[in-house]
Amino acid sequence: MVTTAARELPPANEPEHIARALRLAEVFAARAPAHDRDASFPFENFADLSREGLLALTVPAALGGAGAGARDATRVLGIIGKADPSTALVLSMHYIQHLVMARSTRWPTRLSRKLAKETVEGVALINALRVEPELGSPARGGLPATTARRTETGWRLTGRKIYSTGTPILKWYSVWAKTDEQDARVGLFLVPAGLPGTRIEQTWDHLGLRASGSHTVVFDDVVFPLDYEIDVRKPDDWKVPDVTQATVHAIFVAAIYDGIARAARDWLVKFLTERVPANLGAPLATLLRMQEVVGGIEARLAVNARLIDSFAADFDNGFPLSAIESNIIKLTVTNNAAAVVEDALSLTSNHGLSRTNPLERHYRDVLCGRVHTPQDDATRVSAGRFALGV
């Protein structure tokens, strides 16, 4: 039987980037407690990822990247997520954008090549900025308030984006906005970070994923080139989601929260095997109740591993997949992950909730999975409507 822990040890025939991720994970895990405590951004982690070629993991090989698909990306994200989920979250958003660029017929080739080259050569990250105070999650519908106005000198962008993961380090924003045309279009614009009129408000002070730098970005009449329009359509044309974006986003997020659960599992096993209460005279691991709960944890993690790996492999192999299916996998994996950490807490009493131990941090981090898009209620409603044909 192959245990869930053994899954993380790369066989000799594994790609080199898995071994690199495992080496970096040890360093990132050591840095994670301080970044969590201070809510400071882990800039040094991304310098390390760049040096090891891992920022360019999903950049096509023809453009100098590793050309990895979803399966290798989820492996790396799970490894990094176990060490520092805030770093993994920023990395996942960057990976998604490059996978979308590589597969999209709408991304301007000149721009996708430019961003690929920058990523191969240095620390040049991109993320999509979509969420707004009034709009909430775009996944639930509605037009953004952020507006792009076309002028002779370029687009002029005004608006506010919240929960913008990775803002301290991003070089590029893919901004969800509407045009000010009489028949408004809506879609994505590529905006360089740091342009005049752009400011970052340090609003991210969260329970979990505290080092992700998911701050607010404000655009005040920001000018950028007309040919930086990525994909702007009539609102009705967006009713069918981008398959690549929808499917890999859900599975990448799932891999990160599964990584958090694995970190909790490893700490729990060490705690139970090392702690010897005086009244017991033997490690807690010898108790039947402990063994049963840990067995349940192993079962949840085994299910997660199969779901993530098989779905990512199907994506890479071109099998027809749906956003509903990927969202169901995200729902299942993240709820399993939360249950794993809750079970670990049930066995550790005050020790598990002490800030001197990492389990408390893992619990705060894993809870974010329940509110991370796609949210559970939206997933269940979509699946229910599809099944009922309504």
Per the CB < 8 A criterion, the answer to whether 317 and 71 are in contact is no
Residue 138 scores a pLDDT above 70: no
Q: Residue for token digits 């342009």?
A: 195
**pLDDT of the residue at 7:** 46
**pLDDT of the residue at 141:** 59
Residue 1 scores a pLDDT above 70: no
**pLDDT of the residue at 139:** 53
Show the domains of the chain with their CATH numbers: 6-123 (1.10.540.10), 128-236 (2.40.110.10), 243-388 (1.20.140.10)
Residue 10 scores a pLDDT above 70: no
Per the CB < 8 A criterion, the answer to whether 212 and 166 are in contact is yes
Per the CB < 8 A criterion, the answer to whether 245 and 193 are in contact is no
Task: Enter the pTM of the model.
Answer: 0.94
Q: Exposed/middle/buried for 316, CB within 10 Å: 0-12, 13-18, 19+? A: middle
What dihedral angle (degrees, nearest 10) is formed by the CA atoms of 108, 109, 110, 116? Answer: 110
**pLDDT of the residue at 130:** 95
**pLDDT of the residue at 11:** 55
Proportion of the chain above pLDDT 90, given as a percent = 88
- The two three-digit tokens of residue 111, written as one number: 């721009």
288 pLDDT band, cuts 50/70/90, is: very high
Q: Span 282-300, mean pLDDT?
A: 98
Per the CB < 8 A criterion, the answer to whether 95 and 252 are in contact is yes
Q: Span 293-304, mean pLDDT?
A: 98
Residue 283 scores a pLDDT above 50: yes
Give me the residues paired with residue 75 across strands.
Answer: none
Q: pLDDT by residue (tens digit) across 354-377? A: 999 999 999 999 999 999 989 999
**pLDDT of the residue at 2:** 44
Q: Could you give the CA distance from residue 70 to residue 308 in angstroms, rounded to a whole number?
A: 10
- For the chain, give the mean pLDDT: 94
**For 29, what's the count of Cα atoms within 13 Å in the CB-facing half-sphere?**
22
Per the CB < 8 A criterion, the answer to whether 188 and 18 are in contact is no
